Chain A
Amino acid sequence: MARNEIYREVAPEEFRQECSKLFDGGRGRLRLMFASDNRETGEGFCIHAVFSHPGKNLFEILALKNLEEKKGVIVFPSITSVVPAAHWYERQIADMFGLLPEGHPDPAPLVLHGLYPPGVYPLRRDISHKEIRESLDLDKEDLSPFMEVKGEGICEIPVGPVHAGIIEPGHFRFSAVGETVYYLDARLFFTHKGIEKQFEGMDFDEGVKLAERISGVSSFAHSAAYCHAVERAADTSIPGRAGAIRTFLLELERLYNHLGDIGNMCAGTGFAIGYAKGASLKEGLMRLNEQLTGSRYLRGVNIPGGVLVDVLKNPAETLRMVDGITAQFKSFIAFLTGASSHMERLENAGVLARDIALSLGATGIAARASGLDDDIRRAHPHLYYGQLIFETHTRRKGDVFARMMLRADEAACSLAILKSILHKAKGKRLEGDIAAQPVKKIPESGQALGYVEGPRGSIFYYVRGGGDKNKKPLRVKPRAASFCNWPLMPFAVHGNIVPDFPLINKSFNLSYSGSDA
């Protein structure tokens, strides 16, 4: 069990109160909430809620065990009324396990669309993939109602799931008054692939491959968080050089995402030259990725126990390339900030208020652009981050402009971290192996969280050992950053014009696949 985690079992009647105490009116943060089917270990159905407090490198995990059955339904006390950030987690638990959050203000299905028959709970361990598949009706339309806005001049605009651009599937229902969006109802989870259940059938090496394929441009962050959880659950650590390499690649991933996102925002305003420049810059970084690791998406690098590719082998050469990118990056940002027609579109668009970000548990760029100082790299130092000095950038206004400039600030910070690690490698201060003994087994009682700050925000994994001869996990719960940030969209879009939606959407750059899993 990892050192900065405290697991505490509470009684169902105290659960809400204890959670409320840890959430502390928004001062605490709900990092993750999930259920697990531990009937085979005698713990029955369990609920875990993971909280942390800013300034403390500690995760307090409240656990409910052996949930009771009431009138034929297994229930647990909903905490959404005191911890609003829990609302999606609880609906997800209800869909996947058939555990009912008692007192939830909106217990509608979230993950499973109408084609899944009622009474089929995919994550219960006594139902197989095949049995669930046979119960599906692929042609069935999802008829569950959208939120309806009534009044004079209200017009509904349905969009998706197949969109006009090259983006992921999701259905948006705008209720607009003229040009202005009054309410946005988003139906997601079209790309739900049953990944959580797949993890249970895979050994830990294979699990890394699956984690890499939860969200394309966060491949490395996901696999690093998964490996982190597996390593901590097995109570092993990785060599210092491996930690530095993971840190290096996490920052490289952040960099190519942020620069690509800044370029994509130009597509949102129709600023074609800015978009082309951003896309070229990103392509340069993708090629650097390929050159260093053999994969444009940094796949195939992580394993539980370390890394497989020594990307710090030629620090001098890499340093020259990073210097070249720094120069291009600076001229790109100077070019964009000088383009007033572009920048003026960004200001005051898609404002996300701080209190909404706080209560709904926003993470990453979305949180920091609205004034929340939340960065896993500094709050819970791991890998090589503890030895680095860098600041957490925040902006106050919460509009598209703030999110763009924040990305520019963070990209500059990532470039500095890359250089600092390369200089250390050049000075032979990061010598050693790149992998320890690979982790093949987790003891039955082993459980731990893994976490990283990915390009979109914090990514959490929970891994519990004790599956098939200890070679497979009993439960893996991934939580992508976008899962926390999607519920913010209706608030950020309200009051903006419909044509600004793509811009606002791009400024958050949320992953559908990551959130849908």
Chain B
Amino acid sequence: MLGRILYNIIGRKQALPEDELNARADAGGILLETGPLAEKTGRVFRRSVRIRQVDAGSCNACEWECIALTNPVYDIQRFGMDFVASPRHADILLVTGPVSAAMANALKKTYNATPGPKLVIACGDCAKDGGIYKGSYAVTDGVGNIVPVDAFIPGCPPTPARIAAGIMKIVRASSKIK
């Protein structure tokens, strides 16, 4: 919404159309754990999802790509998604980073503070299994070791187009289920 107003003011229609976004995303590799997804969501996420991004020790590249999702080029608000400030307002936790030991407890608390039905997306290679940090004493080798994960978006970091396409894929998968 904000994005819509903004690029009307700026006078540049630079937002990528959805098909071009998908073409750029190279959506291969986005993994859905369809089992728990089907049980959890139902019709909840049809037209509106609210995402809480949690940095669990990433190098900060994934965060910048998430921030880029709200710029006038990607403008994900037009697809009915937005980032929110509190886990209490969220449908999806988008977790980045290998989960550093010091963040494990904070991530668990954030998960517990998110009302159900909720989804957890692990975003970025290190969120899957620790990536390059795998085996280090200070990380826990992936989000799945701390909270249950429903989907994974690969890349180091995944491009904004890929993150947007990944979230849309998950939203679609959940809205098909009646």
Bits for A112-129, please: 1 = Cβ < 8 Å to B, else 0: 010110000010000001
Question: Does B41 lie at the interface of the complex (its beta carbon under 8 Å from any beta carbon of A)?
Answer: no
Q: Does A337 contact B (CB under 8 A)?
A: no
User: Interface code A284-305, partner B: CB below 8 Å = 1, 0 otherwise?
Assistant: 0010000000001101000000
> B71 touching A213 by the CB < 8 A rule?
no
- Determine whether A252 belongs to the interface, using a CB cutoff of 8 Å to chain B: no
Inter-subunit contact A167/B63 (CB<8 Å): yes
CB distance from B31 to the nearest CB of A (A): 22
Q: Closest CB of chain B to A75's CB: distance in Å?
A: 25
Contact A197 B9 (CB under 8 A): no
- Which partner residue on chain B sits nearest A135 by CB separation? B137
Nearest 9 CB-CB pairs, A to B? A216-B61, A279-B71, A194-B138, A132-B137, A164-B85, A216-B60, A194-B136, A129-B137, A191-B57
- Give the docked Cα–Cα distance between A78 and B86 (Å): 43
Is the interface on chain B under 10, 10 to 19, 20 to 34, or 35 or more residues? 35 or more
Which chain A positions have C-beta within 8 A of B98?
193
CB-contacts of B94-151 with A (<8 A): 97-98, 100-106, 109-110, 126, 131-133, 135-140
Contact B157 A276 (CB under 8 A): no
User: Looking at the complex, which one of A193, A215, A280 makes contact with B136 (CB distance below 8 Å)?
Assistant: A193
Given A190-B100, A198-B133, A272-B6: A162 and B14 interface contact (C-beta under 8 Å) = no
Q: Are B106 and A161 in contact (CB under 8 A)?
A: yes
Return 18 A-B CB contacts under 8 Å, by A number: A136-B137, A141-B105, A168-B60, A192-B100, A192-B101, A193-B136, A195-B133, A214-B59, A217-B60, A217-B61, A219-B59, A219-B61, A276-B3, A276-B72, A511-B60, A513-B57, A513-B58, A514-B60
Q: Does B106 lie within 8 Å of A162, measured CB to CB?
A: yes
A279 x B137 contact (CB < 8 A): no
B167 within 8 A of A: no
| Residue pair B59, A513 in contact (C-beta under 8 Å) | yes
A51: interface (CB < 8 Å): no
A296: nearest residue on chain B (CB-CB)? Answer: B159
Q: Does B23 contact A (CB under 8 A)?
A: no
Nearest opposing residue in chain B for A160, CB measure = B106
Q: Which of A113, A193, A217, A273 contacts B57 (CB 8 A)?
A: A193
With A276-B72, A279-B71, A280-B73 as known contacts, state yes or no: A215 contacts B60, CB within 8 Å: yes
A277-B58 in contact given A115-B101, A169-B103 (Cβ < 8 Å): no
Q: Is there contact, CB below 8 Å, between A168 and B63?
A: yes
List chain B residues, Cβ under 8 A from A322.
Answer: none
A317 contacts partner chain B, Cβ-Cβ < 8 Å: no
Chain A residues whose CB sits within 8 angstroms of the CB of B139 once the complex forms: 193-194
- Is A224 interfacial (CB-CB < 8 Å)? no
Contact flags (1/0) for B1-39 with A, using CB distance below 8 Å? 011001101101010000000000000000000000000
Residue A512 CB within 8 A of the other chain:
yes
- A329 within 8 Å of B by Cβ? no
Question: Which residues of A sit under 8 angstroms from B67, Cβ to Cβ?
Answer: 166, 279
Whether A143 sits at the interface, judged by CB under 8 Å, is: no
- CB-CB under 8 A from A215, the residues of chain B are 59-60
Q: Are A280 and B135 in contact (CB under 8 A)?
A: no
Does A210 make an interface contact (CB < 8 A)?
Answer: yes
Cα–Cα, bound, A24→B133 (Å): 40
CB distance from A130 to the nearest CB of B (A): 8
Give CA–CA (A122, B100) in the complex, Å.
Answer: 15
Q: Which residues of A contact B10 (CB under 8 A)?
A: 273, 276-277, 280
The answer, yes or no, to whether A133 is at the interface (CB within 8 Å) is yes
Q: Are A216 and B55 in contact (CB under 8 A)?
A: no
For residue A481, give the distance in angstroms from its CB to the closest CB of chain B: 14
Q: Chain B residues near A276 (CB, 8 Å)?
A: 3, 6-7, 10, 71-72
Taking the closest CB of chain A, its distance from the CB of B56, in whole angstroms, is: 8
Give the residues in chain B near A214, CB-CB below 8 Å: 59
> Does A396 touch B at the CB level, under 8 Å?
no
* Alpha-carbon gap, A217 to B65, bound state (A): 11
Chain B residues with Cβ below 8 Å from A516 are 100
A440 interface residue (CB < 8 Å to B): no
Could you say which residues of chain A place their CB within 8 Å of the CB of B106?
161-162, 169, 190
A167 / chain B contacts, CB cutoff of 8 Å? 55, 63
Q: B101 contacts A165, CB within 8 Å?
A: no
Is B102 within 8 A of A129, CB to CB? no
Q: Which chain A positions have C-beta within 8 A of B65?
A: 296
Shortest beta-carbon distance from A36 to chain B in Å: 18
Q: Is the CB of B58 within 8 A of A191?
A: yes
Q: Determine if B68 is an interface residue (Cβ-Cβ < 8 Å).
A: yes
Decide: A136 and B157 in contact? CB cutoff 8 A: no
**Cβ contacts A151-178/B at 8 Å (1 or 0 each):** 0000000000110111111000000000
203-223 of chain A: CB within 8 A of chain B: 209-210, 213-217, 219
Question: In the complex, which of the residues A138, A194, A280, A299 contacts B105, with contact meaning CB atoms closer than 8 Å?
Answer: A138
